[in-house]
Amino acid sequence: MSLPSLPLSALQHAWLRELQIAPSFLKSYTSVAVQVSASPEVPVAEVEVSSSDPAPIRTATMPVAARAELHSQLGLKKPEAPIVATVAAERVDLPALSQQNLVQLGQYAQQCTACPLHEQRQQAVVGAGVEHQPDWMVISIAPSSNEEIAGLPMQGKSGELFANQLQSIALPAATTFYTTQLLKCRSPHHAKAEYIQACQGILQRQIELIRPRHLLLLGQATAQLFFGHEQNFEQLRGQLQPWTGPWGETIPAVVTYDPVSLLLRPQDKVKAWADLLFMQGLTQA
């Protein structure tokens, strides 16, 4: 898959270096001089970039305001303190999944006992963001301990990495997101098939209600749930994959790596960036 030629600002180069993108890979991209401003409280180092110079670049400190703006764009609000929310013991009688709205789905997830994960659940992580036809519905695999504490997806190191990835491709400011996961409860093990199956009804109902314009599927387990275990993950990447929900609507999807796997295998970050450039082109179309 060939990559488009993009002009990258100095700050974007710095973000890409933070993602450990090799200098030789960045040489083919043109650099654009951008005045990087910051408030007095958030200093940013000056960065000089030359597309023909493979010498190391001094990495700028990512502005706190930029990360906060992106988290706001994703619909994520980080808690001021890591306080674990307690789920009310009183159960709520709910209609069948096919009749529930998003609020009821959240209540259902908090009291679900369909798999053993409920035994150690502090709180379910259902999703966050724009709830009506966002540009992208981002679906990763499972909540981490940080996400369980916050009750929000994309927290901790994997969330910061995903934020850096999106910053590096400079999506339009008006791009809207809803983020969720295959599993709604934290799993101390890998995402077992029985756990994914137990949560599948909630996820499908979320997609049906939210009706995103595109799906961004993060990780092999997510891709296999949507397109089958016989599909090769690498072959699903780099092209638009149509997925049809049980209610009959077809939604285009993009497949890429889960940020958790990129933390373990940083050598895949270049391929993940290529996937997100493909996503960027679809967003601007």
Contacts of 85 (CB under 8 A, 6+ apart): 122, 123, 151
User: How would you class 163 by CB atoms within 10 Å of its CB: exposed for 0-12, middle for 13-18, buried for 19 or more?
Assistant: buried
Close Cβ partners of 276 (under 8 Å, ≥ 6 residues apart): 165, 166, 168, 169, 256
Q: Are residues 85 and 34 in the same domain?
A: no
pLDDT for the residue 116 = 92
**Residue 92 and residue 169 in one domain:** yes
- Distance of alpha carbon 153 from alpha carbon 76, whole angstroms: 8
What does the pLDDT read at residue 93?
73
- As averages over each run of 10 residues, the pLDDT of the chain (285 residues) reads 55 56 56 40 34 36 55 60 40 81 94 92 94 96 92 92 90 93 88 89 96 96 92 94 93 96 94 95 80
The CA-to-CA distance between both ends of the chain, in Å, stands at: 19
Domain co-membership, 280 together with 251: yes
Q: Looking at the structure, do residues 154 and 28 belong to the same domain, yes or no?
A: no
Give the residues across from 241 on adjacent strands: 253
In sequence order, the β-bridge partners of residue 178 are 129, 137
- For Cα atoms 162, 197, 135, give the angle at the middle one, nearest 5 degrees: 40
- Domain endpoint, select from 34, 61, 88: 61
Residue 52: partners with Cβ closer than 8 Å, 6 or more residues away:
27
Give pLDDT, residue 191.
78
CA distances from 284 to 33, 275, 278, 281 (A): 23, 15, 10, 5
Return the pLDDT at 71. 65
19 with 77, same domain?
Answer: no
The answer on 108 and 18 residing in a single domain is: no
Together in a domain, 227 and 95: yes
Output the pLDDT for position 244: 95
Whether residues 276 and 236 share a domain: the answer is yes
The per-residue pLDDT for 77 is 60
Domain shared by 162 and 46, yes or no: no
Its pTM stands at 0.73
| Residue 278 and residue 242 in one domain | yes
Phi, psi (deg, nearest 5) at residue 99: -110, 0
- Domain extent, residue 119, equals 63-284
- pLDDT at residue number 27: 58
Whether residues 71 and 151 fall in one domain = yes
Amino acid at 177: F
Residue 188 and residue 55 share a domain? no
**Total structural domains in the chain?**
2
Q: What is the CATH number of the domain that holds 121?
A: 3.40.470.10
